[in-house]
Structure 1
Amino acid sequence: MQDKQVLNLINEFKEHFKDESKSKELFEQLQKLLNNDRQEIANNAKERFKAVVDNVVDGIITIDKKGKILTFNRTAESILGYIEEEVIGKNIKEIMPTNNFVEQYRYVKNFKKFGKNIGNERHVTGLRKDGSSFPLDLVVSKIQIGQEDMFIGVLRDTTEELYQKEELQQSQERLQSILDNVYEGIITIDSKGIIDSFNLAAENIFGYDAKEMIGCNVKMLMPEPYFSEHDGYLANYMSGGEAKVIGIDREVEGRRKDGSIFPLYLAVTQIRNHGKPLFVGMVRDLSEQKRLEKLKNEFVSTVSHELRTPLTSIRGSLGLIESGTMGKIEDKLAPLVKIALNNTERLILLINDILDMEKMESGQMDFTLEYIDLNTLIHEAVEANEGFSKEHNVHLVFHDFGERIEVYVDKNRIQQVLANLISNAVKYSPKDDTVTLRVSMGSQVRVEVHDNGPGIPDDFKKQIFQRFAQADSSDTKQKGGTGLGLNISKAIIEKLGGSIGFLSPLNEGTTFFFNLPVMHELKVVENKLESRRGKVLVVEDDHDIATLLQMMLYNEGIECDIAYNTTEAKQLLSQTHYDAMTLDIMLPGQDGISLLEDIRKEESLKDLSIVVVSAKALIKKEENVNAGVEVVDWINKPIDKERLISSMKQAMKVNKNLLPCILHVEDDPDIADLIKILLHDIGEIDLAVTKAEALKKLEYKKYDLILLDMMLPDGSGQDILPYIKEKYTAT
């Protein structure tokens, strides 16, 4: 408003108030000025409104009650392809498809007649200026300006939205098709174990339809004891406990709709969906695999045994012919007899390897353990394989350790391992080269066989100890062998409480090695038995493993008795006081867990410290950890000697007044020796020279005192303090 102009007119009007003609003129000027001002305000408001409407994301069209277009914003221009000047004043039916117009007209007519609400969103078809049609969401609302009814249409092009929906639907259909056609069953559950999805393979495995299972607890698919324990496991994990199954693939048992129990492969992973945890289980029915494995093992065993008999006769006959016992053979036949005899030997070795493999799978590989000098054993192996090495123009050299190294092993089985490692080294060595054998001592004795051959390809290293493993298919023809030797060697060494491995740096040949526990002479053991160590009962049905456990513990000055079954165990426990016990789970007659439960019922044995040593230790630990079964440790076979000794020391401390255990974390050897001398009579010193070693020892053992250096090769000793605080505050 032009305030100054109005004020001037008012003052002038006051001066000429009595002059009628002048007053009228001034009044008309004032009225005109006021009208212009109101028009300016209206125009400004209209422009602001248009600016707002032109910048909204939806198209906006206003029409009067006759359908004439009053406004048409920029988004409507973009959607329909018209410009505002082309449509203002035209009837809406001119830019609307006929079917939409008829429907819209009916809506407007019904409103005018009955006053019905027409503001609901509708999905219609739009028509652009170029004649193309497209999907459109349309909402029509009524407004009133003064006495006039108007209608506002809000429209949105949904082409991209519908395209995305179709893409999503197709993606979901593809995913569902994949899930329904994979071989493995896939089941998803929420944090409470409720099934969210159940694919077609899962239906076939368990016999349930997906609609029967969705919304139900997944434990319906589990037999006891998993059925009763599952909810507790899951709740414990969700509250921050240890993962028992998640991230681990293993063999379990499943229960079908008909109640039958069957072997099942299970792998569980955790994902997050909209911020909530979701667990995906992949399952596979192992029934057929187990049946075929049994048939295969029976077939291999039967065929192998049946082949050995005629081959023995053939070898014997060819040997007699070659030796001349049956008369001199013609010179032209001698090479043929030699070829036949050599290939008969190869076939017998192959059958023996297959039989050994079958024995390993069934757990029936026999061992005859005895004390023997390892140097002598290696000398014999070198002599036995000298002929083979000469055939390949390769020399065998053994660097004798010089001192007697006594091991408790099966002589023939160690010879079998050495023969395999030596023959492999010879076959892959260059001509006129040397294969070197050497022995070294540490916490265990190590035997090494080194060749200067081409080495092991990187992509083969991970599978080298698998059955029938060959670096190249041509190796079988060029080098010979079955690909079973290293697999069998690994099983033998691990059965004897050792480990096997290899080193193959680029262009530096290959060194295969195996480690074995050292059995010190008896007088050393006897001296240790006079010290403060206690007495342990070893409950183990495998005689070889029982003896091996006994020797491992003897070597630490711990006296042992052996019980080969639960009856013997109960008898010895009733007659003798033991400070601790090792327990196998798979025992004849009564299993180890039920024996443990019986022991806990006896007042005199309820506090006996027990260490489980079993091939199924970890599986049984998961099954019994929440069932109140108290043991010091669960150790899987093959046996980790260091962990066994550490656990037994801890077990015996509970029931015997031993010297306190002190962990000394120190990388300086002089300081470590000094502390050991100073505290020798005060406590038992356990040395760790790195942070990693200290953490590992703390994981398996509890100490009465910890002496901690702050500056370690792999970090600060201060990093260990939170772990110590957490572990020892809890106890």
Structure 2
Amino acid sequence: MIKLKTTTEIRQLKKIHSIAGIGYWVYNYSTKDFWWSDVTHSILGYQDGNVIPTRDILKKHIHPEDLVFFEESLKQMQLQPMEIEFRFYKNGELRLGKITGEVYKKEDIIEEVLFQDITDIKIKEFEIAKAWNKALEAENLKNAFLANMSHELRTPLNSIIGFSELLESGNIKEDIPKFASSIKDSGLQLLKIIEDLLKVSMLESRTAKPVKRNFNLHNMMKDVESLTHKLLSNNKKEHLQLKFPNIDVNQVIKSDQNKIIGILSNLLHNAVKFTEKGSITCSYRFINQTIEFTISDTGKGIPAKSQSNVFQRFRQANENSINNFGGTGLGLYISRLEIELLGGKIWIASEEKIGTTVKFSLPNVIDQELINEADSTANLYNWENYTVVVAEDQFTNYKILEAYLQPTNINIIWAKTGKEAMTASLQNPEVNLILMDINMPHTNGLEATKLIKKKRPDLTIIAQTAYALEGDREKSLKAGCSEHLSKPFNKSDLLLCMSRYLP
């Protein structure tokens, strides 16, 4: 066996300490001699040889609040090995150190200590712990969301399936309207959940884009007020006082009307849900070219510690409120993303047992060239001299459209495929409009539209489809459609859309 020389061993030990960043000092209690290694010089911020090591110089680097603890630990080291952590200064910067040492008593009393700067290690440990806690929180939120979503989906499905089975049996006749109404309400509830999930996906993926058009602000607020009254009625809260601005000026603004209605509906839905007595107020004001909406209630309020979470996804002011009040916890998150998409911002002020006020602002909604517009939409339509082709392969969907259109006296031709739609429109010159489903057998709606437009370029074609993702509207318009209606749409949406092209 080869025995290394002492100088070689010392050199190797210094190299190991340098790589590991571990300093080393030796103190002789008998002679008061003090020595520390090059790494110790570096840890304390000195260049090797710039300072003569002493106990007093070492103590000057220790944080004043840790100095007594540090000195007592060195005394205890004479009785047993010690490992401690403490704060120290390096060139004026506060750092965190660790020493591990013991005292040997032979001819002299010798203190040998390993010294390490663990600041970066602790920071990394903290960041790892923070990331881990964040991951755990996300996992817990996900699990809570999935459990709640299962409940939110199964509740309306249970109603739909249950009442459908009763209707299918044919033994119950007097309650048919009541059962049908319950199925419709549950279907709308289920649709709202699906729409929320799709909105989140589109907004987070940055595929959603605002569609800004001129619209009458007063008329929109009247529609929102009507929806809120219906919401109060459905929740048996007609006793609440609802306050909306009573303004007759036909102010026209330019923004995404559908998104604003959705945002206001979400905020007012929350106000209704969490308010048992008092009032709910919805108002707006203009600040230069910015509009600021305010929704206030006298409800239960939000705890101060939870107010920063309410605009995060899957979060509610009180996680237990999911069970008490229902909901997916996506409403305010969607509202925040849509407001940011429109270039605005949203904020909240709330006090428990007093109420909540939510405000959001949207910039650049005033155009100097806009003029006041009056609502000229007719309440009744009579199109007895016109013909429409309903291109729809699903029988139930066709029957719904037929029921919507029958009161207008319009002539209806049913086409079950894209090919039949082409034949009907090209062989019947009296056809004035086509309601074109996109997903049809043989020839899809977009291909059929392109072929029809080559023969009859002036014929109005309205896409009515279950494709509702960002970009689907553009595909329909590019193929030659004049409008794009996303299923499900209601009767008024359909008739209003058709009225733009039929006198």
TM-score range, shorter chain: 0.3 to 0.5
User: How high is the TM-score relative to the length of structure 2?
Assistant: 0.42
User: How high is the TM-score relative to the length of structure 1?
Assistant: 0.30
Of structures 1 and 2, the one scoring higher in RCO (CA 8 A, sep 6+) is: 2
Structure number with greater Rg is: 1
